[in-house]
Amino acid sequence: MINIEHIREDFPLLKNTKVIYLDNAATTQKPIQVIEAISEFYSKFNANIHRGIYDLSEEATELYEEAHEEVAKFIKARSWEEVIFTRNTTEALNILALSLSKKFIDEGDEIIVTIMDHHSNLLPWFKVAEYTKTKVKVIKFSSRWRLTGSDFENCISERTRVIALPHISNVLGVINDVKSVAKVAHEVGALLVVDGAQSVPHMPVDVRELEIDFLAFSGHKMLGPTGIGVLWGREDILEDLPPVLYGGDMVKSVLLELSTLKLSIEYNDLPWKFEAGTPNIAGGIGLCAAVKYLERIGMNEVHRHERDLLRYTLKRFSELEDKVSILGPLDMHKKSGLLSFNLSSYDPFVVASWLATDNIAVRAGFHCAQPLYKYLGLDNGSVRVSFYIYNTKSEVDALVDSVKRLLGEK
């Protein structure tokens, strides 16, 4: 069982303010262990990696490579060489889309995305399709809400090269059955790309058990600092893909024949082939500390705690009867600790502004998923509440009581 009071002591912002922070799908608060790990790096080990034979550089390199190892263990990767650090999920998916377009996607091929994709896993594939002359197909969902392999069977073909979908929708909170989608994709030789921004921080994720090919997620959504993200991919595929960023540390050798201006490049080993230039070393070290923090708690416990809070929230929201409409399934086995809703006759931004007067932080709008809202017929978006390890039932009570005051019931 998670000791909430003990955990909250680790978060300076929660100790020093009265905010009820329920916007964890956007970014999470940072524990002192992460803050201190970043501070310690700059105070004691600050140097560039892979560039010096002096102690500081070697110590910085060890810390940065340890971060790759910890992340690899966290998602059950086969090797830390499969873990590429990026700025965030968005950059990871853009890098992947561009790289695949150079090697794997040709004119006349097909890319499949879904209506529930975040813009970060939607726009890159449409842009790649423009210049590769590739066809994009969009999978919708039925009243079941959740996407499974059967939803793709009638859309997939021998020309399908990539299927991209979210593991968890950042609007609906639904957990998609990516393993069954992977099976359908691999039957025609397609690759499965999973946006794990809302899953990796909140539940156990085993990339080998899921049988997926690529996974992207962000450090700042899982207690880590901003500016650090992860692109994981199967080593056999990554070895064959070209980088899209060129410069220092992503090459072993560069030969320029001046008479012919012929340039010969030998790329570096994984993951450095995809990490051009000086990386966010401090960010990687901070992410390592965040991963260790979550591992100590246990991701099953994180998932259980969030579901308990969601279950309690749904129970309290039932007191509002027909004045609240909830997006997504109500089946707890298909949900994460995320809830989007609307109040009758109230714009989502009005609701969020009202809650802010009670120091309750939520998100309002389209949540970078405008095509989904159009598909659902919601012109103004929704209010989104998202939980994490430090949230409590008393905070849920404060949320519901504030909503009731807005509705004039209290």
State which H helix or E strand residue 341 sits in. Answer: strand 338-343
Nearest to 113 by CA among 105, 124, 103: 124
DSSP per residue, 366-391: -TT-HHHHHHHT-SS-EEEEE--TT-
Q: Name the amino acid, one letter, at 203.
A: M
DSSP 200: T
Give the span between the Cα atoms of 150 and 389, in whole angstroms.
34
CA distances from 305 to 93, 225, 353, 387 (A): 29, 23, 27, 9
Q: Which of 368, 376, 398, 407 does the annotation list as catalytic?
A: 368
- C-alpha gyration radius of the chain: 22
State which H helix or E strand residue 114 sits in. Answer: strand 110-114
Q: Is 368 a catalytic residue?
A: yes
Nearest to 217 by CA among 234, 199, 193: 199
Phi, psi of 163 (to 5 degrees): -120, 130
CA distances from 113 to 121, 161, 377 (A): 8, 11, 20
Q: Report H helices in 31-88.
A: 32-40, 55-74
Nearest to 361 by CA among 91, 45, 19, 41: 19
Whether 293 contacts 34, CB under 8 Å: yes
**Beta strand 160-166 pairing with 214-218:** unpaired
Beta strands in 219-276 (DSSP E): 229-233, 251-257, 262-267
Strand-pair partners of 234: none
Q: Which residues are catalytic?
A: 368
